[in-house]
């Protein structure tokens, strides 16, 4: 397309997954997930394109169209993946932006790779965007892209959205080349965050580090105005509701309950296996409740889906070992033949299987130590058309600001976790229903479509 695209999404990953058919040919299918389903209609109707990595190292897939989305792959070598993605993005920025839940690692070659990959993303975007186009850049892997892109293409309207928390000034200050990263973001016209507090951290940083003078939610920078606001992300409510209403999914929920022991109450965790998610604390709390006899293996069962994630990063391997050792210990100590207290699945599950689990659950445990939003909490709520089931939710998630009818908990405090689990298990059905109704109303009124439209309206 000679004149370029009017709307361009830029994200680390393209919204597609590679599958190999029976014929041995490779195909690309749209990947599931709210972000993709929210942006796809906008990308399509505005004649847009998506710039990102295919997810496979040394992949030279060229431009192509999948389901009406024009894809512009940015190739990454195995070394780029190692340094830019697993290194600087996931071993430096990720832990630092999540309050140092694990110590960040700082390496100069990672920073160089991060620069050069960000530059390639900016160049690929500059090539496909039409004059005056709107570009929406996503997340912590691409913090430098807005400024790089503006230098190449001052005609563009550039938005940036950060899916993870933005740290307080004193934490951000630990980053080598912190001013450059901040200037990267200031290349955008609009910088969006999950929470107002994150936007304030960003503006305070601009004042403290660069001496800029924020005024309310904006700051003047290099002759432009940069706006920083919160846009809490959400889920595809209609899709979750459709799955929850599907008789096959409901049958699967009944089967799961029967399989786990029909009379046992079900506690559920669904997370990427990530040290920010508080999986260890949750399992520890459950183990203590069993040890103290507050709950028993005959009455209660915990299912923990721990989706494999970033398994080449040492801290993730270590987390896996710690969680699996603790699960083994609890099952060994409190289990019986044919009946264990913790069902641990280090596996990825389909969206339909996740919704079946949500429907089978008595108490959903969402206990991150820090989380930008947490979509699992919103999916659980959207799935519970029966207005039953209780949500235990960490106060350190973005979702807690909206779902304050959950059993809100401080996951650093094991006693508080135990208290919240017991309170949720013991809550009378009408109390659970009142809480669930309020939470459902909130999620239904603010779905992912609403999020995308609000962001783009503010950017326009």
Nearer to ligand GDG by Cβ, of 75 and 351: the residue is 351
Instruction: Tell me how far, at minimum, the Cβ of 384 lies from ligand GDG, in Å.
Output: 15
Instruction: Tell me how far, at minimum, the Cβ of 35 lies from ligand GDG, in Å.
Output: 7
Instruction: Tell me how far, at minimum, the Cβ of 376 lies from ligand GDG, in Å.
Output: 4
Q: How far apart (Å, rounded) are the C-alpha atoms in residues 434 and 447?
A: 21
Nearer to ligand GDG by Cβ, of 123 and 241: the residue is 241
Q: Which helix (H) or strand (E) holds 342?
A: strand 342-345
Length of the chain (residues): 460
The C-alpha torsion from 37 through 41 and 47 to 53, rounded to 10°, is 0
- Helix, strand, coil content of the chain in percent (nearest 5): 45, 20, 30
Nearest alpha carbon to residue 169 among 194, 147, 200:
200
Nearer to ligand GDG by Cβ, of 268 and 375: the residue is 375
Is the Cβ–Cβ distance between 245 and 237 less than 8 Å?
no
Is the Cβ–Cβ distance between 301 and 260 less than 8 Å?
yes
The two most distant CA atoms of the chain are separated, in Å, by: 70
Q: How far apart (Å, rounded) are the C-alpha atoms in residues 49 and 70?
A: 5
Instruction: Tell me how far, at minimum, the Cβ of 151 lies from ligand GDG, in Å.
Output: 27
Instruction: Tell me how far, at minimum, the Cβ of 231 lies from ligand GDG, in Å.
Output: 10
Nearest alpha carbon to residue 104 among 174, 16, 25:
174
Q: CB neighbours (10 Å) of residue 453?
A: 13
Report the DSSP pairing between strands 69-73 and 49-53. Answer: parallel
CA distances to 160, 242, 297, 363 from 300, in Å = 44, 29, 6, 10
Instruction: Tell me how far, at minimum, the Cβ of 89 lies from ligand GDG, in Å.
Output: 13
Active-site entry in 80, 189, 236, 371: 371
Q: Is 163 a catalytic residue?
A: yes
Phi, psi for residue 216 in degrees, rounded to 5: 60, -115
Write out the residues near ligand GDG by the rule CB under 6 A. Answer: 32, 163-164, 233, 270, 272, 305, 307, 348-351, 354, 371-376, 379
Active-site entry in 17, 82, 163, 431: 163
Task: Report, as residue numbers or ranges, the catalytic residues.
Answer: 163, 371
């Amino acid at each position: 397309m000679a004149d370029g695209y009017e709307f361009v999404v830029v994200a680390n990953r393209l919204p597609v997954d590679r599958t190999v058919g029976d014929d041995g040919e490779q195909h690309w299918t749209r990947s599931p997930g709210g972000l993709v389903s929210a942006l796809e209609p906008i990308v399509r109707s505005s004649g847009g394109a998506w710039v990102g990595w295919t997810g496979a190292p040394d992949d030279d897939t060229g431009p192509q169209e999948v389901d009406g989305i024009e894809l512009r792959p940015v190739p990454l070598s195995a070394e780029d993946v190692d340094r830019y993605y697993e290194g600087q993005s996931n071993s430096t920025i990720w832990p630092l932006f999540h309050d140092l839940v694990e110590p960040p690692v700082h390496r100069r070659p990672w920073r160089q790779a991060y620069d050069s990959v960000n530059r390639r993303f900016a160049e690929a975007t500059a090539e496909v965007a039409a004059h005056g186009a709107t570009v929406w850049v996503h997340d912590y892997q691409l913090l430098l892209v807005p400024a790089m892109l503006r230098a190449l293409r001052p005609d563009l309207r550039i938005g940036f959205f950060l899916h993870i928390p933005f740290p307080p000034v004193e934490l951000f200050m630990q980053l080598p080349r912190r001013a450059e990263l901040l200037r990267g973001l200031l290349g955008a016209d609009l910088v969006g965050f999950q929470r107002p507090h994150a936007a304030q951290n960003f503006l305070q940083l601009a004042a403290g580090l660069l001496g800029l003078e924020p005024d309310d939610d904006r700051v003047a920078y290099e002759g432009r105005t940069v706006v920083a606001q919160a846009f809490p992300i959400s889920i595809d409510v209609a899709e979750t509701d459709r799955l929850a209403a599907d008789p096959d999914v409901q049958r699967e929920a009944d089967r799961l309950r029967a399989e786990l022991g029909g009379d046992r109450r079900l506690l559920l965790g669904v997370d990427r296996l990530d040290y920010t998610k508080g999986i260890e604390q949750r399992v520890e709390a459950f183990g203590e409740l069993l040890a103290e006899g507050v709950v028993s293996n005959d009455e209660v069962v915990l299912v923990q889906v721990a989706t494999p994630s970033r398994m080449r990063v040492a801290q993730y391997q270590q987390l896996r070992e710690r969680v699996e050792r603790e699960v083994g210990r609890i099952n060994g100590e409190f289990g019986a033949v044919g009946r264990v207290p913790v069902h641990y699945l280090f596996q990825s599950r389909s969206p339909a299987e996740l919704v079946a689990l949500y429907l089978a659950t008595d108490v959903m445990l969402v206990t991150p130590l820090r989380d930008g939003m947490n979509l699992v909490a919103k999916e659980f709520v959207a799935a519970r058309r029966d207005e039953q089931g209780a949500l235990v939710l960490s106060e350190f998630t973005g979702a807690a600001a909206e779902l304050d009818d959950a059993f809100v908990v401080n996951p650093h405090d094991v006693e508080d976790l135990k208290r919240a689990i017991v309170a949720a298990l013991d809550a009378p059905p009408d109390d659970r229903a009142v809480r669930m109704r309020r939470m459902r109303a909130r999620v239904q009124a603010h779905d992912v479509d609403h999020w995308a439209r609000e962001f783009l309206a503010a950017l326009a």
